[in-house]
């Protein structure tokens, strides 16, 4: 099993450009998440989807949009990239969002640089 797969692994954008980070999981998990990791800041939640058809804002949603395309896929879109969005982005999934006992399974990360 691949687990959680993120694409692309690396991306360089110019300010104002748009892009979509793709995430897919093959574990039949209900919940999916997007986090960003910045030095000294830990992981901060951008958006999450507790179940197919629902999405909710996390701690730092500004400048991002998400789509839960189906149970497997959860994409993160930057409409107009800014240098402050330079970060490492992690997608994660978990079995049950409503009963939060399950651990998260993470992808390998997508390293985004905005010039």
Q: What's the min distance (Å) between Cβ of 87 and another protein?
A: 14
Question: At a CB cut-off of 8 Å and minimum separation 6, what does 67 contact?
Answer: 55, 74, 75, 77
Tokens of 18: 């748009």
* Interface contacts to another protein, rule CB under 8 A: 4, 31, 33, 35, 40-45, 48, 50, 56, 58, 90, 92, 97-101, 103-109
How far is the C-alpha of 94 from the C-alpha of 102, rounded, in Å? 6
Nearer to another protein, 1 or 14 (CB): 1
Q: How far is the CB of 84 from another protein (least distance, A)?
A: 18
Q: Which CB atom, from 8 or from 16, has the smaller least distance to another protein?
A: 8
In this structure, are residues 23 and 107 in contact, taking their beta carbons and an 8 Å threshold? yes
């Amino acid at each position: 099993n691949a687990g959680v797969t993120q694409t692309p692994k690396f991306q360089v954008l110019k300010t104002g450009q748009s892009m979509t980070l793709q995430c897919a999981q093959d574990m039949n998990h209900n919940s999916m998440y997007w986090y960003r990791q910045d030095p000294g800041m830990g992981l901060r939640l951008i958006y999450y989807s507790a179940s197919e058809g629902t999405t909710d804002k996390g701690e730092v949603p500004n400048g991002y949009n998400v789509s839960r395309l189906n149970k497997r896929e959860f994409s993160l879109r930057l409409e107009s990239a800014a240098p402050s969005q330079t970060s490492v982005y992690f997608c994660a999934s978990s079995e049950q969002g409503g009963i939060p006992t399950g651990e998260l399974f993470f992808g390998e990360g997508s390293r985004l640089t905005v010039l």
